[in-house]
Structure formats: structure tokens, C-alpha cells
Amino acid sequence: MRIVALTGAGISAESGISTFRDSGGLWEGYAIEEVASPQGWIKNPAVVLDFYNQRRKIALNAEPNEGHLALARLERLFELTIITQNVDNLHEKAGSSQVIHLHGELFKSRSTKDSQLIYDIEGWELKLGDKCEKGAQLRPHIVWFGEPVPLLEKAIAATRIADIFMVIGTSLQVYPAAGLMNYVKASVPKYIIDPNLPPVAKNDALFLVPEKASIGLPKVAAQLLQENA
């Protein structure tokens, strides 16, 4: 059985990683275009590097919660693919091995000259002067606003063949990730786990769990494991 889980900021927030977009449109005090756009990078790369360095420092010490661990347990019995909007590595820390990072990965950098050159970041710091093998500055391996989402087609392909689809800790307001629901077969059971349930059309294949990921996801996982033991 193939399970696909789409995860968002809510599951990481429970591990102490800020969702950082507030009502003023700021991310931890920064305007979005300052730190999450190609234009911001061109204007002030030092500010962009510092922003992600601080996020990386927090994520380095963050631990997966019961939601992450529940997904890892499901992988032991099912073919589980996680499509995450999160850039942290908490799914991997929990033991999940098939993770599609739609918006990039915080602990990786890539060349500003050749996007195929991607490197792991040891520790938390990426600095001006850190260069790729072709001599170009390294940038965070993050999908910024206005940039294409390279792994979207891979995510769509996984979604099309899902036998169960889960939506965890996301408002289904951020595209293109929110559009993945459109690729799930109508008959496939869909679980939405979030204390603030997004507006979705109800049908017999839809199961709403109005709880935090750390509470609702272990319950759903236990049910699925029991039914398929």
C-alpha cells in the first residue's frame, strides 16, 4: 500500500521551528522579498545568508516530535512518501527515508553558477566567500518566491498513485503544494490532520482530524497499522 503524506509548517512548529510568517507579512522581522527572493539575494546576500544561518542554528538542535515519529513507523509497513513544504530535516531525523522537499533543504547549499552542484552544510553556517568547485558563491538550497519548484513533477507522480493521502499541518493555501490534492484519485481515503482545518469539500473518502500533528497523526498511524497488521 502506498501512502503519501503532505506536511507543512504545523508539524515543525511543534518541534520549536518557527513558522515565521506573521500577520504583517514579515518573516522573523524581515520582509519576504529581503530574504526569500532572487532579488533579495542580489541586493544583500549577507542578510540572506544570516537569515538562513539563524534558522539552521535552531533546526540543528530541534528534535522530531510524535508526528514525525508516527510517519517513520508507517514506513516500516507501507510504501510511504513524504512531500514536505518544510526545509528542515526533522523527517529524516525521525527515520523517514523517502522525503521530497518541495521548497528545498536548509542543510544544503548550491552553486550560483551551476544549480546541479549541491552540497551538504556541516554545522549551521554558510558564509560569503564559501564557493563551489567552479569558483561561484554558494547560496541556500531553498526555493525562493518567483523560482520554479524542481521537484513538483516528482511530487505529482507520487500523489497520482497514492492509496492513502494525508495532509498534515498545512493550511492548503500555499501553491503549488496545495494543488496536489487535485491529483489524488477521488476514491482514495484522504486524512486532513490540523487543529485549524482548511476549507475542503466533504465526501465519503475524507477524514478530518482537528488535532495537532503530534496528537492526531499517531492515532491515524495506529489505526492504519492495526487494520493492516
| Sign, CA torsion 86/92/96/100 | positive
| Sign, CA torsion 97/103/108/111 | positive
Domains of the chain (ranges, CATH numbers):
1-17+64-103+148-229 (3.40.50.1220), 18-61+107-142 (3.30.1600.10)
Residue located via cell numbers 518541495? 102
Using pLDDT thresholds of 50, 70 and 90, give the confidence band for residue 197: confident
**For position 28, what pLDDT does the model report?**
61
Q: Does residue 77 surpass a pLDDT of 80? A: yes
Residues catalogued as catalytic? 103
Give the start-end residues of each E strand in 12-94. 26-27, 30-31, 79-84
**For position 96, what pLDDT does the model report?**
97
C-alpha 87/C-alpha 108 separation (Å) is 10
Q: Does residue 70 surpass a pLDDT of 70? A: yes
Query: Is residue 207 within 8 Å of residue 190, measured between CB atoms?
Result: yes
Residue located via cell numbers 539575494? 41
How is 159-180 classified by DSSP, letter by letter? HHT-SEEEEES--S-STTGGGG
